[in-house]
Structure 1
Amino acid sequence: MNKNFLNYHFWATNKVLDHLGTLPEGILSKEIPNVFPSILKTLEHLYAVESMWIQRIQGNNLSAFPEITFQNIPQAREAFSEVHSQYLAASNTEDNKLIYYQNTKGQMFCSQLWDIFIHIVNHGTYHRGNITSMLRQLGEKGISTDFIIYLRESHDKGI
């Protein structure tokens, strides 16, 4: 498997967290009309989904999204760092490994590990876009997390 996609996802999430950590206090929990009511709620959703999928990959079925509440960016960073470490460990198995899981409606499914990783990366990209939109609604600057920027920065750092 090309771990570039997972590494990109981790890089992009950390870029967003870095940027959010520079914003004025209170802006992350300010309610605005968007997909989720606040930036923090968007981060909590992103983490809950990643946490749920890694549990499924590890053979643990969850009947509902894990409950998580972030009080601040350092807490979010720690949680994402832990789950991302679990994804890296899981990525050392065969790409076409089959993962059997139950969705939150109780339906059974089976997906290849690589397809789940692609889903996680795509889901993260979507919600990082939501966060950029929310930042602009709040009069703040967004942050670019495009894949090509990751590749350029990785190349410049010799990664």
Structure 2
Amino acid sequence: MYLQELTTRFVRYNLWANERLTAWLLTIDPGVLYEETGSSFGTIDRTLQHILAAQNYWYDVIVKEQINEFKLPAEGNAVDHVIANLVVSSRQLASSLSALNEQQLTERIRVSDSTQRRYEYILHVVNHSSYHRGQVVAMCRALGITGEIPVTDYDAYLWWIEHDVV
């Protein structure tokens, strides 16, 4: 039962972190989200699109055991739409993946040339989103945003749930 608790906590953390970061991004000048930074995906907007695409891809793999082509959407000047979809995707992940039992979590599933237990892919998708949220924060700082950037570390989430803030 510990594995189910761990993965549930991780997908709920992912939702919490994405909600915090995106809510804050909606408060800053939207033009900044389209500025080139030289980072992996160039702009904050495209990085958010990548997080969304990856979450959708892995949802299909983990829940439906369906491997679809990984497509990075190319929505221009639609960051509000991307942010809304990212939050919806994060809620869907939290809801669906929290419902998996221990047997489902330890079941091996094949993705391309790799076969891993389902929980390994769940940990991957949360880790992947965390990595790119860090990039978003770095891009914001590089673009001169000095305001109160929200903390989205897992440890901060643990504090919030411990203190019933969430």
TM-score range, shorter chain: 0.7 to 0.9
Q: What aligned pairs does 1:1-159 form with structure 2 within 5 A after superposition?
A: 1=4, 2=6, 3-57=8-62, 58-69=64-75, 71-87=77-93, 88-93=95-100, 94-102=104-112, 108-141=113-146, 142-157=149-164
Relative to structure 1, is the Cα distance of residues 70 and 20 closer, same or farther in structure 2, using a 3 angstrom cutoff? farther
Distance 1:99 1:91 in 2: 18
Task: Flag the 1:22–1:122 CA change in 2: closer, same or farther, 3 A.
Answer: same
Structure 2: runs of 5 or more not aligned: none
Are the structure 2 counterparts of residues 72 and 18 from structure 1 closer, same or farther at C-alpha, using a change threshold of 3 Å?
Answer: farther
Distance apart, 1:80 and its partner CA: 2.0
2:118 aligned partner, one-letter code = L
Q: 1:156 to 1:68 in 2, by over 3 A?
A: farther
Call closer, same or farther: CA 1:69–1:9 in 2, change over 3 Å: same
Counterparts in 2 of 1:33 and 1:158: CA distance versus 1, 3 Å = closer
Q: Structure 1-normalised TM-score?
A: 0.86
Equivalent residues of 1:39, 1:131 under 8 A apart: yes
Larger deviation, residues 31-40 vs 89-98 = 89-98
Structure 2 length normalisation: TM-score?
Answer: 0.83
The alignment covers a number of residue pairs equal to 154
State the identity as a percent: 23
Which runs of 5 or more structure 1 residues have no equivalent in the other structure?
103-107
